[in-house]
Amino acid sequence: MKRAVQITLSETERKMLERLKRGRQVSVRLAERAAIVLHAADGLEDQQIGALMGISRQKAGRWRKRYAAKGVKGIEKDAPRSGRHRQIDEKQRAVVVRKTLTETPEGRTHWSRSSMARATGLSDSTIGRIWREHGLKPHLVDTFKLS
């Protein structure tokens, strides 16, 4: 059977975690995580911590491991998530950037979001995001390289 990571706290670490556990200006999540670490330092197993606090043993183990690996920084924030995958591929993005820099719409001096959206079949907001990512501002003359 796997043993939980042993947590040993110095006096200053314990005081800091106690302060986080009781703090009124501390998020509920951080207070709960501090309590988990304190129970772990007192020698309780993840199953016991879970039963005592009304959480799963996996949750208790997760925060014990993160504290052991990174200290207080490990329990302050959730791990980053991957986020949503892009719907518009790089090829389509490149077409928008190329059109913005090398072409102008018929009878106009520069592209607007809506005119580029009509020309490419993308939404106005998607065009805006692509332009922002590439630092493009078609309404400003500086964007275009005049020869």
CA distance 115 to 98: 15
Examine the pLDDT at 101 and tell me if it is beyond 80.
Answer: yes
pLDDT by residue (tens digit) across 108-143? 888 999 999 999 999 999 999 999 999 998 888 554
What is d(CA 127, CA 133) in angstroms, rounded to the nearest whole number? 10
The answer, as to whether pTM is greater than 0.85, is no
Residues in CB range of 71: below 8 A, 6 or more apart: 13
Q: What torsion do the CA atoms of 103, 104, 105, 107 make, to the nearest 10 degrees?
A: -140
Amino acid present at 139: H
What tokens appear for 65 in the block? 């491991």
Q: Which residue has the tokens 């077409």?
A: 95
Split at pLDDT 50, 70, 90, the class of 70 is: very high
Extract the tokens encoding 8: 């040993």
What is the per-residue pLDDT for 108? 87
- The mean predicted confidence, pLDDT, of the chain is 90
Give the model's pLDDT for residue 78. 85
**pLDDT over 80 (residue 146):** no
> Number of H helices and number of E strands within the chain?
8, 0
Answer yes or no: is pLDDT of 52 > 60: yes
Q: Give the count of alpha carbons within 13 A of 80, CB side only.
A: 3
Can you give the residue ranges of every domain in the chain? 11-76, 90-143
